[in-house]
Structure 1
Amino acid sequence: MRALSLIMAVVAVACAGCGGASGTEDAAGADRPVGPVTMVVPFAAGGGSDIAGRAVADGLVSVTPGLNISVDNREGGQGAVGYSYLLGKAGSPQYLLATETSLLSLPASVDVAFSHRSFTPIFKVGEDFTLLVARPDSPITSCADAVEQARHRRVLAAISGAMGPDAVVFSQMRATTGADIDTVPYEGGGESMAAVLGGQVELASLNPSEVIGQLRAGELKALCVFADQRYTYPELADIPTSVEQGVGVVFAQFRGVIAPGELNPQAREFWVQAARRFADSPAYREYVASEFLQARPAFGEQFGAYLAATQGPVEQVVSR
């Protein structure tokens, strides 16, 4: 309850005065962006959301002559500050936000002023399965071992956001195994990484793109991937799945891009078409491969339908 109260307090401060559509400086109601565009990242620099936001911003620029996008990290409230900021930009085509599963899990668990329907869905970039990692000297040797040890002693795990995708994963683990691994929320994958490397926590839930360098260097070891099939990428193919180890937790978070609500239909179409061009480009394929994503793009209303279909399962897990 204390974590929820802190999130609500931070959001209230950040959103003061941003309840309605923004002023003319944000081009509210315009049929396309004019001048610099801002990609909001609702988490700290260095994590998976930050990597995704910067890659998509660069990709959209590469396929749209004259477009200029800068990245603005607005972390806080476990992602809610960034979403609340975008909420105040209603109607403006000058803003995008690098979104992921916290768009669904936050409204399901915290009293925030937004849901996924508050925004304009533009582009689902792909899907990302989480790895459970530990330092090489950790006595925990597998995902199943983490479950077993958590039944007999306190095990701490770092997660990105108290109500984000990593929290969903550990909630599923508690529901399916009864093992209660204590989670410590951080503002992004970079902070979670530092916590496990520094020994403040024993485990961390991180995306492959966030942790591949440390795995290659031997600074961390992967205990499992929370999936029902192994990754086919050579660097990850030897990591066993949670299902293989008898832990029935499978969860893919999405990565995508949303725009403010109440967009002019022509502005929405501008961004959807830009996203389609990016998805057809070598830059998209390079990004997906470099971040070890599952390439499952969806655009506009199709992405909105995906969000609506995914909302229920996420709410069921978070509300347990």
Structure 2
Amino acid sequence: MTTPFETLGRGLRIAAVAAAGLGAMTGAALAQDYPDAGETLDWTIAFGPGGGNDIMARTMVDIITKYDLYPGNIRLENRAGGSGAVGWGYLAAQKGNGYAISTTSGSLITTPLQADTGWKPSDFTPIALMATDDLAIMVRGDSEWKTIEDYIEAAKTTPPTIAGTGTVNVDFIVPKLFSEAAGFDIEYISFNSMADMQTAQLSRAVDSLVANPGEVVGLVESGDMRALVYSGTKVPPELGEGVPTMAEVGHDIGVSMPRGVILAPDAPEAAKTYWIETMKKIAETPEWAEYIQGNLLTQNIIYGDEFEAFLTKTQAGFEKVLREQGVIN
């Protein structure tokens, strides 16, 4: 004879099994439902218009739109300030949201090293590293400094002003390491956008700037700017003839800027999977190949957990450099 307690226990076990089954079905349904065409994708650009981060994000969205890789609307927002702290701080606050996304730069790594941002790179959901780029030191086309040797010689007497995007990031690390190696000082001036930097350079408010070649090719072609030296291993011909690498003038620094894609912290696994697969599709398009070539980047693609490991390793390397330079304690 079955007691009331045994009947109750059997009922509870059946209910638990049913609930587990319902939970699994719900999870499967959620995975199938992502992305919801009714949800607007909120894409944060952590810097102002015209810079490398902005160009990459808008290129990706153009490709996504052309090939129908996302079924809903996409809202691009430039949330500039604090060397990326404002934009990525906004993304960090969207914890668990699979519809909050951003493109990255070196500032994702360096900004939390120098300020209490409340987030670090590993907090975000890693999607993909898509490329890396290197930087050139630029002067005006009519500058008295015709070569990097001219620049260094003058700098040993009067430290030049040099503009970069953000405060303590790759734009700061590259000229700082180079100047230390070459035996001169610099006065680094931070800007939130490439457009502001270019205006300052052309109006003679700063002596020089550091930029990705793709951001200044037009100004090189027009003669408004001249490249003096390049941090990468091979100088893009678009920078002009006779431009040396830092290694060629005896001061190799070995630093590149990572450009990738992240989601908000703790984004659903379905969202992570979807965007990894989407980035794979983007990387195979002719438009992406054109972007890489046109912006003089190095295609360097890794996904998911490998990208997270890359960010962690790169942050450790950047932290070592900044501590050695006395920039952070």
Fold similarity call, TM over 0.5: yes
Displacement of 1:94: 1.1
Contact 1:144 1:242 survives alignment (8 Å)? no
Contact 2:128 2:261 survives alignment (8 Å)? yes
Question: For residues 81 and 293 of structure 2, what CA distance do their matches in structure 1 show?
Answer: 29
Name the counterpart of 1:11.
Answer: none
Name the counterpart of 2:86.
Answer: 81
Q: Could you say if the C-alpha distance between residues 151 and 125 of structure 1 is closer, same or farther in structure 2, counting changes exceeding 3 Å?
A: same
Question: For residues 237 and 33 of structure 1, what CA distance do their matches in structure 2 show?
Answer: 45
Q: Does 1:235 align with 2:264?
A: no
Displacement of 1:173: 2.1
Name the counterpart of 2:307.
Answer: 303
Name the counterpart of 1:120.
Answer: 125
Match of 2:166 among 161, 172, 187: 161
Please tell me the residue identity of whatever aligns with 1:42: A
Displacement of 1:109: 1.5
Question: For residues 148 and 111 of structure 2, what CA distance do their matches in structure 1 show?
Answer: 26
Question: For residues 42 and 180 of structure 2, what CA distance do their matches in structure 1 show?
Answer: 39
Q: Deviations over 1:13-51 (max 9, x none)?
A: xxxxxxxxxxxxxxxxx6434322121011111111111
Name the counterpart of 1:278.
Answer: 282
Name the counterpart of 1:133.
Answer: 138
Name the counterpart of 1:107.
Answer: 112
Contact 1:126 1:293 survives alignment (8 Å)? yes
Name the counterpart of 2:59.
Answer: 55
Which runs of 5 or more residues in structure 2 are unaligned?
1-29
Match of 2:264 among 260, 266, 271: 260
Contact 1:122 1:257 survives alignment (8 Å)? yes
Q: Deviations over 1:141-166 (max 9, x none)?
A: 23343233221113111111112210
Please tell me the residue identity of whatever aligns with 1:97: S
Question: For residues 318 and 296 of structure 1, what CA distance do their matches in structure 2 show?
Answer: 24
Question: For residues 161 and 41 of structure 2, what CA distance do their matches in structure 1 show?
Answer: 40
Please tell me the residue identity of whatever aligns with 2:232: A
Contact 2:227 2:240 survives alignment (8 Å)? no
Structure 1 segments of 4 or more deviating over 4 A? none
Aligned Cα root-mean-square deviation (Å): 1.6
| Secondary structure of the structure 2 residue equivalent to 1:114 | coil
Q: Which has the larger radius of gyration?
A: 2
TM-score of the superposed pair, with normalisation by structure 2? 0.83
Match of 1:288 among 285, 292, 300: 292
Which runs of 5 or more residues in structure 1 are unaligned?
1-29
| Secondary structure of the structure 2 residue equivalent to 1:100 | coil
Please tell me the residue identity of whatever aligns with 2:50: G
Question: For residues 134 and 322 of structure 2, what CA distance do their matches in structure 1 show?
Answer: 18
Count of matched residue positions in the alignment of Structure 1 and Structure 2: 289
TM-score of the superposed pair, with normalisation by structure 1? 0.86
Match of 2:183 among 178, 186, 192: 178
Q: Could you say if the C-alpha distance between residues 140 and 249 of structure 1 is closer, same or farther in structure 2, counting changes exceeding 3 Å?
A: farther
| Secondary structure of the structure 2 residue equivalent to 1:235 | helix
| Secondary structure of the structure 2 residue equivalent to 1:245 | coil
Displacement of 1:73: 0.2
Please tell me the residue identity of whatever aligns with 1:235: E
Q: Could you say if the C-alpha distance between residues 262 and 196 of structure 1 is closer, same or farther in structure 2, counting changes exceeding 3 Å?
A: same
In percent, how many aligned pairs have the same letter? 28
Question: For residues 258 and 46 of structure 2, what CA distance do their matches in structure 1 show?
Answer: 15
Task: Write 1 or 2 for the structure with the bigger share of helix.
Answer: 2
| Secondary structure of the structure 1 residue equivalent to 2:251 | coil
Q: Could you say if the C-alpha distance between residues 67 and 240 of structure 1 is closer, same or farther in structure 2, counting changes exceeding 3 Å?
A: farther
Name the counterpart of 2:18.
Answer: none
Please tell me the residue identity of whatever aligns with 2:127: I
Question: For residues 161 and 144 of structure 2, what CA distance do their matches in structure 1 show?
Answer: 13
Displacement of 1:237: 6.6
Q: Does 1:44 align with 2:53?
A: no
Question: For residues 236 and 152 of structure 1, what CA distance do their matches in structure 2 show?
Answer: 27
